Each structure stands twice: as structure tokens, then as C-alpha cells.
């Protein structure tokens, strides 16, 4: 739950700058509102500009403010004078000063603080009653009075404060959410891969040398190449959405080449979710924003480039196999294929007797959930992303793309680092056609993490060799 109403600084007095006398001066018949007085008053209250945003920053917590917000705040101060004539004067003059002209607002100094981002060694989560610092070895709780010491050069957005309470005594494995994750995975290695993915998404640090998009699908959809769904992938993602600001794009409708595709991305957006992408989705279209800066273009506004460090991470959900024949695509994906323990006839509510999140959960259940997600980030910081694919599923996917006979023959016939005549193998696999056999061999190599090399020899005959993939070559593609 995102914080929209509660004040997270429960242990501190609100900063109050009572300087209302300098907001105006009395004339013979009325009052003159002072632009300079308003500007100084607001600066003293922590008003600053940042990347075309106006922020009110207190104790390194920033609230985004609109001109109307600022007008109403000054009006509140003016009303403390209990003078109707002064209030009327502000209504008339304050609109011009703060809303029409914008001179006061644009004149606020640029903040010297930068938005907080996690690092490769540390992550933070912010709650109503305080915040936690997560490392590979420990999770430490702090009061907000210590925030300026922990991140002296950064600010956090108040919108990104979680509307819940941290309880270090909560037990993660008692959580309904953790039990749900165990049900949608096959074994401990599969679970570990999913937990590491949730930790990666919850940690806001971006590593240019290991840029990843997390791709969620389910086993039945992958095997049948048809939409099965209802397996629980979106419920797992909703766990991340409880902690991080996620912008969701309709995967079937959005065109990544369209110039306004990212116009809903905000300064504090931490993840972009391409939900349920279309069957012919081209993953290569995501390369530029996975690897580099993100261009954000809005109608009637200049293009804004968000640097890599502060740009969002990406999630893709799909009910179809995503084409990833190249090493470049494979290297940019962390694939999570959940099982189909849940489906349209057997839903989480049938097991847990309640929906997840929001009013459906008690404060205690939320606390256990927060512990799960903190430990997911800790697992990621300790071990990084952990890959997993069910061996049986991998074989079934390969058979679906080739044939059962082909896979059986290649498994029993081919040794690595040994040359074979393509036409002879084609005959043995009963594919007959050398071109189709070559295509199937490429699929076989990709499925098994191998690399295929072909060459023409005497008599224009084609030979091939399978070998372990050269990871350095893969990464350079």
C-alpha cells in the first residue's frame, strides 16, 4: 500500500515556519501581498525545485507540490491572522503571484539533494513507523530522525513510503504470501529463483553490466503456446507493487516504437510493467531502455531523457513463449515460469480463504509479508539473480518446437566438440530436410545453453559442431 494520507514522521515535530507578518503589508485601505515575503517563507519551509518538479523537502522526505497546493498552504498561513480583509486580498493577489505568473515558484532554488537509489550492497524500505536498511548480512530498523544521517545527500519521495508498519518480530514463513510462492514453484531451486527476482525488483539499484528484464509466464502457456493464465504471476507482481511505484502498460496495445509510449512515467516510477504482451512481441524493442536512458515524450512538451541510473526496471508478463534466439535476448532476460498449481478453477482464494492485500489483510499479515519482501531483497544482495528452468519443461518446450524423434536422436547421438555431417543427421532424425534439421539444431543448442557452428567442406557438404557457449562472446552481442 502506498502512503497517501499518513504522516510517516511520527517521531518528529512537524517543521513550522511562522513568519506570516512578512507575507503582506497594510495599506491605507487594504493589504498588499508580498511576492518576496511569500518566496522567502516557502524557501524556509523547504520548498525546492528538481527536474521541473516543485518539492517540499523536510528531513530528506520530499512531497511533490502543485501551484494549487502552494496557494492553499500560503492561504492557510494567511488565515491565521484572522483578518477577512487580508484573506480577501490574498484570494485576489495570491492567484496571480502563485498560479498565473509562476515567478515565485520557478525562483525556488534547485535542491542539492538527489533522489535516493539503492546500491549493489544495500537497499532500503520506508514504512510509517520508520525505515529499514537491508544488506546481505542484516536488516536494521531506524527511526526517521536518523534518515538525514543515513542518506545525507539524498531525498525520498513521500509517495514511495509504504503505508504499513515494520515489525522485526514477524516470521516470513508464516506469511500467506510466502506460502503462495511455494505453491507456484516446483522445488526449492525454483522458489529461490522467484524470490531472487522479487528481491531484484524491490531493490532500485541498476547495474549497467547486468541489465535485466524479468519475464513472467506459466508452464502451460509455454508448453501449449496458448493463453492459459490465472496461474498467479500477477499476484506475485502485486507483491512488488505494494512496495514500489509501478507504471503498467497494456502489453497488447502499446507500441514501443511510438514516441509517447512512456508518457505516464513519473519521476518516482521505479518499475514499468508490460502486462500480457501480444504473441508477436519483439523483445529486441526493449533493448534501448533496458540498457540505456529512457526517453519520455509527452504531448506539447520537450523530450526528457531519464538517465540509466534513475530509469525504471522492466517486467514483462506473457502467455506465449517470447522469442529469445540470440544471446543478447537471453542475457537481458530473467525468466520466471511458474507452475499451474493455480488456474481459473483453482484460485488462491480457494486455498487461503481471502484475497491478498488491501482491506483483506490484517496488520499482522502485512507485517509478515513485508518481512518476506525484505528477505527477498537480502537474498538478491547476497546471491544475485538465480536462474532456474524445470528440466522436464525445457524438454517439452523443445519437443514442441521440433519433434520427439529429433530430440531423442540428438540426445543419444551427438557429442560436444565433434563435427557431424548435417545430411546424415537429418536422415537419422527422420527430418530429412537439411535446412529444417539445421533450424532444429539451433533450437536444441539454445535450449541447452550450447553454441552451434557450421562450415562447408569438400563437395559443398555442410558439417556442424555443438559446443558450450562462449559467455564472453554472448555478452558482447
Q: What is the pLDDT of residues 337-373, one digit of tens each?
A: 898 899 888 999 999 999 999 888 999 999 999 999 9
Q: Based on the structure, what is the number of domains in the chain?
A: 3
| Mean of pLDDT values over 454-468 | 91
Output the nine-digit C-alpha cell for 246.
509501478
pLDDT of 193 above 70: yes
pLDDT in tens, 268-312: 899 999 999 888 888 888 999 999 888 888 887 878 888 899 899
The CATH number of whichever domain residue 432 belongs to comes to 1.10.10
Find the mean pLDDT for residues 43-57: 94
* Residue that is last in its domain, among 106, 124, 144: 106
* Choice among 87-96, 172-181, 390-399 with the minimum mean pLDDT: 390-399
Percent of the chain with pLDDT over 70: 92
Q: How confident is the model at residue 13 (pLDDT cuts 50, 70, 90)?
A: very low
- Indicate whether 117 belongs to any domain: no
Q: Which of 152, 164, 115, 374 is nearest to 268 (CA)?
A: 115
Which of 89-103, 223-237, 332-346, 445-459: highest mean pLDDT?
A: 89-103
Considering only 239-248, 437-446, 462-471, which range has the smallest mean pLDDT? 462-471
Q: Where are the alpha helices (DSSP H) in 96-143?
A: 103-106
Per-residue pLDDT reduced to its tens digit, 242-268: 999 999 999 888 888 888 888 888 888
Query: Please, what is the average pLDDT of the chain?
Result: 88
Tell me, yes or no, whether 317 and 384 share the same domain: yes
Q: Which residues contact 270 (CB under 8 A, 6 or more apart)?
A: 160, 204, 244, 245, 246, 312, 313
Q: What is residue 322's DSSP assignment?
A: P
Residue 393 has pLDDT above 80, yes or no: no
Give me the domain span that covers residue 98: 20-106
Q: Domain for residue 288, yes or no? A: yes
Residues 381 and 412 in one domain: no
Mean predicted confidence (pLDDT) in 195-216:
94
Name the band, by pLDDT with cuts 50, 70 and 90, for residue 474.
very low
| Distances in whole angstroms, Cα of residue 42 to Cα of each of 20, 49, 75, 114, 235 | 11, 12, 12, 20, 43
Q: Are residues 378 and 426 in the same domain?
A: no
> Does residue 136 have a pLDDT over 90?
yes
Q: How confident is the model at residue 477 (pLDDT cuts 50, 70, 90)?
A: very low
What pLDDT score was predicted for residue 475?
36
- pLDDT reported for residue 4: 46
Asked whether 380 and 207 are in contact (CB, 8 A), the reply is no
Boundary residue ending a domain (335, 369, 392) = 392
Same domain, 328 and 441: no
pLDDT digits (tens, 9 = 90+) for 312-343: 999 999 887 776 656 677 788 888 989 889 98
Is residue 367 located within the same domain as residue 449?
Answer: no
126 assigned to some structural domain: no
Let me know whether 266 and 236 are in one domain: yes
pLDDT score for 443: 86
Q: Write the CB contacts of 64 (distance below 8 Å, at least 6 apart in sequence).
A: 53, 54, 55, 157, 159, 267
Residue 221 lies in a domain: yes
Whether 44 shows a pLDDT value over 70: the answer reads: yes
Domain annotation covers residue 6: no
Query: Which of 392, 413, 437 is a domain's end point?
Result: 392
99 in the same domain as 71: yes
In a domain, 142, yes or no: no
Q: Are residues 253 and 362 in the same domain?
A: yes
Band the pLDDT of 32: cuts 50, 70, 90.
very high
Same domain assignment for residues 59 and 203 = no
Residues 375 and 416 in one domain: no
- pLDDT exceeds cutoff 50 at 17: no
One domain, residues 461 and 326: no
pTM of whole model > 0.85? Answer: no
How far is residue 50's CA from residue 66's CA, in Å, rounded to a whole number?
13
Q: H/E element holding 240?
A: helix 233-241
Amino acid at each position: 500500500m502506498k502512503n497517501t494520507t499518513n504522516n510517516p514522521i511520527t517521531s518528529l515535530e512537524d517543521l513550522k515556519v511562522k513568519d506570516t507578518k512578512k507575507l503582506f503589508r497594510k495599506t491605507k485601505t487594504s493589504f498588499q501581498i508580498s511576492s518576496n515575503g511569500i518566496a522567502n517563507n516557502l524557501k524556509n519551509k523547504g520548498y525546492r525545485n528538481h527536474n521541473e518538479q516543485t518539492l517540499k523537502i523536510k528531513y530528506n522526505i520530499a512531497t511533490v507540490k502543485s501551484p494549487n497546493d502552494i496557494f492553499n498552504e500560503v492561504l492557510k498561513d494567511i488565515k491565521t491572522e484572522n483578518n477577512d480583509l487580508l484573506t480577501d486580498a490574498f484570494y485576489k493577489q495570491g492567484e496571480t503571484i502563485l498560479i498565473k505568473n509562476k515567478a515565485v515558484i520557478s525562483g525556488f532554488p534547485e535542491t542539492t539533494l538527489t533522489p535516493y537509489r539503492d546500491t549493489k550492497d544495500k537497499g532500503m524500505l520506508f514504512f510509517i513507523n520508520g525505515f529499514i536498511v537491508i544488506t546481505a548480512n542484516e536488516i536494521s530498523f531506524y527511526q526517521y530522525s536518523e534518515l538525514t544521517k543515513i542518506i545525507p545527500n539524498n531525498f525520498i519521495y513521500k509517495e514511495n513510503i509504504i503505508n504499513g508498519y515494520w515489525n522485526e518480530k514477524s516470521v516470513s514463513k508464516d506469511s500467506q504470501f510466502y506460502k503462495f510462492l511455494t505453491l507456484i514453484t516446483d522445488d526449492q531451486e525454483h522458489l529461490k529463483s522467484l524470490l531472487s527476482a522479487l528481491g531484484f525488483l524491490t531493490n532500485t539499484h541498476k547495474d549497467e553490466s547486468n541489465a535485466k528484464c524479468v519475464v513472467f509466464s506459466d508452464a502451460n502457456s509455454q508448453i501449449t503456446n496458448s493463453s492459459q493464465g490465472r496461474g498467479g504471476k500477477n499476484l506475485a507482481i502485486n507483491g512488488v507493487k505494494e512496495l514500489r511505484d509501478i507504471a503498467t502498460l497494456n502489453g497488447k496495445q502499446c507500441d514501443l516504437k511510438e514516441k509517447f509510449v512512456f508518457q505516464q512515467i513519473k519521476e518516482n516510477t521505479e518499475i514499468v510493467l508490460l502486462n500480457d504482451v501480444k504473441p508477436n512481441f519483439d523483445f529486441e524493442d526493449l533493448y534501448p531502455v533496458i540498457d540505456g536512458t529512457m526517453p519520455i515524450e509527452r504531448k506539447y512538451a520537450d523530450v526528457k531523457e531519464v538517465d540509466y541510473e534513475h530509469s525504471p526496471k522492466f517486467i514483462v508478463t506473457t502467455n506465449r513463449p517470447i522469442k529469445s534466439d540470440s544471446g543478447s535476448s537471453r542475457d537481458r532476460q530473467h525468466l520466471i515460469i511458474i507452475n499451474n498449481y493455480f488456474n481459473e478453477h483453482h484460485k488462491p482464494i480457494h486455498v487461503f480463504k481471502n484475497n491478498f492485500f488491501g482491506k483483506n489483510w490484517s496488520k499482522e499479515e502485512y507485517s509478515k509479508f513485508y518481512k518476506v519482501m525484505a528477505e527477498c531483497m537480502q537474498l538478491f544482495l547476497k546471491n544475485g539473480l538465480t536462474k532456474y528452468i524445470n528440466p522436464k519443461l525445457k524438454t517439452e518446450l523443445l519437443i514442441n518446437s521440433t519433434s520427439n524423434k529429433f530430440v531423442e536422436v540428438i540426445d543419444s547421438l551427438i557429442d560436444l566438440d565433434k563435427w557431424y555431417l548435417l545430411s546424415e543427421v537429418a536422415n537419422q532424425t527422420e527430418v530429412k530436410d537439411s535446412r529444417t534439421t539445421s533450424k532444429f539444431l539451433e533450437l536444441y543448442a539454445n535450449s541447452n545453453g550450447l553454441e552451434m557452428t557450421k562450415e562447408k567442406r569438400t563437395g559443398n557438404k555442410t558439417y556442424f559442431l555443438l559446443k558450450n557457449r562462449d559467455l564472453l562472446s554472448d555478452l558482447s552481442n
